[in-house]
Amino acid sequence: MQRSVALFVRHRIDATVADGVFALLALAAGGWPGAAGWPAPDSAGSLLPAGTRADTGGSRTEDGLLCLSVRSAFHLLLSAAELPAGSEIVISAVTHPDMVRIIELHGLRAVPVDIDPGTLAVDEAALDSAVTDLTRALVVTHLFGARSSLDAVARTAHDRGLLLIEDCAQSIQGPDDRGDPRADVSLFSFGLLKTATAMGGAVTWVRRPALAAAMRARHAGWPVQPRRAYAVKVLTCMVALVASHPVLYGLLFGGGCRYDPTALVRSRVPGDEPGFTRWLRRRPCDALARTVARRLAHFPAHRLASRAEAGEAFAAALPPGVFRPGATAARHTHWVFPVVVDDPDRAVDGLRAAGVDATPATSQIAAVEPAPPGATRMLTGLVFVPAYPGLPAARRDLAAAVIAACSSGPAGTTAATATAARTMAATAAERESRGHATTRVDGARSLTGR
């Protein structure tokens, strides 16, 4: 069968060209009037739409602060909290590696707490062991688009008087999502690869008034992000949107090319400590603030729902023997779709041969050392696969067949998985052939022994 040059992108940016045009106009005009319900932040970055400082169902109020990124917000938070040097911060064992770097930058120690690979929630027994008399804060990272339970963590934070922080960078659930009201701080990202991207920015909801005031005071003294830097982000987004067309993406990154296209859109983070600190200590420019406001006022809820449905459809296409981190999470929007396979490189090669790009690893998540067993199991053999609404069903089924063939799953399921993979590959190939499409089915067939 003739090969197609089409290659479906590994991660689709959640924006339209119109979103990019708005950001460019905001840059050119020096910022537009606030979008409905979301006026511009004040000089300290405080978001004050109606209801921002409002009762959250108990005695707590919340204050919204607009920051340049979640990492910048976390640095601001730790600066304002002024925790004693040598204090411990218990953090989810799988998180963004820069979160640990920021903890250490403040003279604090990151202590990993294991997570359940199925639910992605913090393991309660591991939490009890991780918390000591030196612990001052708990950080829960919600992964892959799932929102894990805070029940055990919230009880521990309340009983021990600890600061509770939740990192929701990967798991926003909608425009009104402000996180769990039991958390003292909830962090949301609008970075280039995130849901409802504004090409940057983060919203931080703080439920300790004194802490919020200290954060605003410090934030007001930080330099503003250069408008030119934001313009580069916006233009990068627009180029990436055009380049994500399957044919063009295949021409650029298909064949034997092994360049990681997501490296083009990731932030360039300085490796030295002074440079890293300067990179963190910046406020968003006015155009970025306006773009975040617009994205919240016109949140793409329909795309979020479609993405969640596409993720569930992909999960249903996989045989039971395939291990999916977060498979039993209660709430999942499938920001990314991770699977664990025996041979990640073989799986990626097979997926690309089937016309679907994938990556066996990412610099955006890592285990906090020393890595506990749940985190190790989840990250060993991890592959991220496209599972968004624009992926045709035939390609999805081919991808599922490749994954099944590369996954032994639980003990005793290898033969059943391989048989299912052969059946899936044959069915997907027949469906694609009936649709008069040309695809790279030979990759899936070779992996399944056909």
**Model confidence at 70: pLDDT above 50:** yes
Of 193, 199, 175, the closest CA to residue 288 belongs to 199
pLDDT digits (tens, 9 = 90+) for 324-349: 999 999 899 999 999 999 999 999 99
> Which 3 state secondary structure label does DSSP give 110?
strand
Beta strands 331-332 and 146-147, pairing class: antiparallel
The Cβ of residue 401 has, within 10 Å, a number of other Cβ atoms equal to: 33
> Which 3 state secondary structure label does DSSP give 197?
coil
- The CATH T-level fold of domain 32-220 is Aspartate Aminotransferase; domain 2 (3.40.640)
**Hey, where are the domains in the chain?**
32-220
Name 436's Cβ contacts closer than 8 Å, sequence gap at least 6.
none
Task: Say how far apart CA 256 and CA 65 lie, in whole Å.
Answer: 45
Task: Say how far apart CA 429 and CA 399 lie, in whole Å.
Answer: 11
Q: Which amino acid is at 135?
A: T
Whole-model pTM: value is: 0.87
Mean pLDDT lowest for which of 48-52, 68-72, 297-301? 48-52
Pair of tokens at residue 155: 């009880």
**Model confidence at 125: pLDDT above 90:** yes
pLDDT value, residue 136:
98
Task: Say how far apart CA 365 and CA 143 lie, in whole Å.
Answer: 9
pLDDT digits (tens, 9 = 90+) for 260-278: 676 666 778 899 999 999 9
